[in-house]
Structure 1
Amino acid sequence: MERPYILHMLTPGPWMSPFDVNMAADAGYQVIVPYCGVDVAATPGLTQDAIFSRGPKGVARTGLFIGGRDVAQAVDMLDAARKAMVPPFVVSVMADPSGAFTTAAAMLACVRQQLKKAHGAELAGRQVLVLGGTGPVGRVVGVLAARAGAQVRIASHKGLQAAQETVDAVNKRFGTALLPASSADKAALREALASTDVVLATAAAGVQVLSADDLAAAGQKLLVAADVNAVPPEGIAGVGVMDDGKPVAGTQAVGIGALAVGNVKYQVQNQLLKRMREAEKPVTLSFDDAFALACELRA
């Protein structure tokens, strides 16, 4: 009898995301087991419990998925899982806390493609402003954009100090050089927008971070405006959830809406989970892998 495909899903939170459980099932995993309240210290023990019981052939049908909300903690848990494995007892591992890795990857891949298509421009060297950037998606998309050669500012509606604390933590963990910005009031927001080529809205669902007046004040430098908020009102006024390269009124920018991003995010997560399940040799998948795949899908 063929051994079943088993996915062990680890999260520091009180429950595993139903979205991720559904995605795992749709990717072909037959047994899906969530483990809640798991931190970095608990990860090696659970990993070894998962690998030593199945033998070398069984581990090929075993995977680990790491969720949660803290992107740095998720990467630390992924590293802890890999270090706990003893060849030939090695399984594939994927991290995607709050869907932030695949969402950020999809968002930036869409931006990269529309910069090229609409403006003949590259991401490298562009001024990128991430609004609502202190959350999981904002942090990851900031890291990815910086690694792609962009100059990135992370903005917080709580002010410059909150943004500074976030960029300090992200820069220390991922070796980037993100800068802080304030979006606490109209004057600060519009000052940040004035030098922005690409604006990314990654705030909480149902929160509008850019009004139509704000966009009008951005001037003609703005090239792309992308939003991941699918809950009304839209995060960027005038950028509809289905938009994928639609001109933004009053600017030379094109807009990318939440469902356009979400369609790519879904494909990326589905294909990465399948890649884990089908891999002949164990793979370790994080946000860089998600971005590479998202760019392939948008090519």
Structure 2
Amino acid sequence: MDRPYILHMLTPGPWMSPFDVNMAADAGYQVIVPYCGVDVAATPNLTQDAIFSRGPKGVSRTGLFIGGRDVTQAVDMLDAARKAMVPPFVVSVMADPSGAFTTAAAMLACVRGQLRKAHGTDLDGRRVLVLGGTGPVGRIVAVLAARAGAQVRIASHKGQQVANETARAVSERFGAAVAGASSADAAALREALADTDVVLATAAAGVQVLSAEDLAAAGQKLLVAADVNAVPPEGIAGVGVMDDGKPVAGTQAVGIGALAVGNVKYQVQHQLLQRMRNAEKPLALSFDDAFALACELRAG
């Protein structure tokens, strides 16, 4: 009898995301086991328990998935899992805390696609402002944009100091040049928008971070406005959840809505999980892999 495909799902939180469990099942894993309250220190022991019990052939049908909410912790857990493996007992591992890696990847791939399609340009050299940038998606999309050559600022509604602290932490941990910007009030937000080419709204669901008046203040420099908030009101006024290249009133920008991003995010997570399941050699998948795949999907 063939050995079943097993996915061990690790999270520092009190529960594993039902979304991720569903995705794992749809990707073809037959046994899906969540482990909650797992931190970096506990990851090596769990990893070795998962790999040594199945033999060299069994490890090819074994995978690890790392969730949670803290993107830095997730990357550290992924690194700890990889270091704990002993060839030939090596399994595939993927990190996607709160869906932040696949969501950020999908968002930026959609933005890059619309920059090329609507404006004949790319991310390199563009000024990107990430609103709600202190959260998981905001941090990772900032890193990906900076690695793509953009000049990136993470904005915080709590002010310049919090934004600067987050930008410094992101830059140091991920080796990306990211700066901070305040969005604490309308004046600060509009000042940051004045020289922005791309604005990304990654704040909490149901929070509007950019009003119609704010967009008007952005002027004609703005090229793309993208939002990942699917809960009313929209994160960016006038950008509907289904928009994918629709002109934004009063600007030369095009809008990208949450469901347009979400469609790509779903495909990316599904295909990465399938890649793990079907891989002949073990894979270690993080946000760079998610972005590369998202760009392939958008190009296709």
Alignment TM class, shorter chain as reference: over 0.9
Q: In 2, Cα distance between the equivalents of 1:206 and 1:124? A: 31
Counterpart AA for 2:211: S
Paired residues for 1:262-277 under 5 Å: 262-277=262-277
Q: Which residue is equivalent to 1:252?
A: 252
Paired residues for 1:129-148 under 5 Å: 129-148=129-148
Q: In 2, Cα distance between the equivalents of 1:217 and 1:171? A: 29
**What are the Cα deviations for residues 127-153 of structure 1, in whole angstroms up to 9, with x where unaligned?**
000000000000000000000000000
Give how far 1:176 is off: 1.2
Q: Which residue is equivalent to 1:207?
A: 207
Q: In 2, Cα distance between the equivalents of 1:293 and 1:226? A: 19
Counterpart AA for 1:257: G
Q: In 2, Cα distance between the equivalents of 1:175 and 1:161? A: 20
Q: Which residue is equivalent to 1:162?
A: 162
Give how far 1:177 is off: 1.3
Q: Which residue is equivalent to 1:18?
A: 18
Q: Which residue is equivalent to 2:198?
A: 198
Q: In 2, Cα distance between the equivalents of 1:207 and 1:109? A: 23
Tell me the SS of whatever aligns to 1:181.
Answer: strand
Give how far 1:172 is off: 1.0
Counterpart AA for 2:73: Q
Counterpart AA for 1:270: H
Deviation above 4 Å: which 4+ runs of structure 1? none
**What are the Cα deviations for residues 254-296 of structure 1, in whole angstroms up to 9, with x where unaligned?**
0000000000000000000000000000000000000000000
* Unaligned ranges ≥5, structure 1: none
RMSD: 0.3
Corresponding position: 1:223 with 2:229: no
Q: In 2, Cα distance between the equivalents of 1:167 and 1:121? A: 26
Tell me the SS of whatever aligns to 2:297.
Answer: helix
Corresponding position: 1:83 with 2:83: yes
Give how far 1:165 is off: 1.2
Q: In 1, Cα distance between the equivalents of 2:282 and 2:35? A: 21
* Unaligned ranges ≥5, structure 2: none
**Paired residues, what number?**
299
Q: In 2, Cα distance between the equivalents of 1:58 and 1:176? A: 38
Q: Which residue is equivalent to 2:61?
A: 61
Tell me the SS of whatever aligns to 2:40.
Answer: coil
Counterpart AA for 1:108: L
> Equivalent pairs: percent with the same residue?
90
Give how far 1:243 is off: 0.1
Q: In 1, Cα distance between the equivalents of 2:168 and 2:178? A: 8
Counterpart AA for 2:160: L
Tell me the SS of whatever aligns to 2:32.
Answer: strand
Give how far 1:23 is off: 0.2
Q: Which residue is equivalent to 1:292?
A: 292
Counterpart AA for 2:52: F
Q: Which residue is equivalent to 1:49?
A: 49
Q: Which residue is equivalent to 1:96?
A: 96
Counterpart AA for 1:157: H
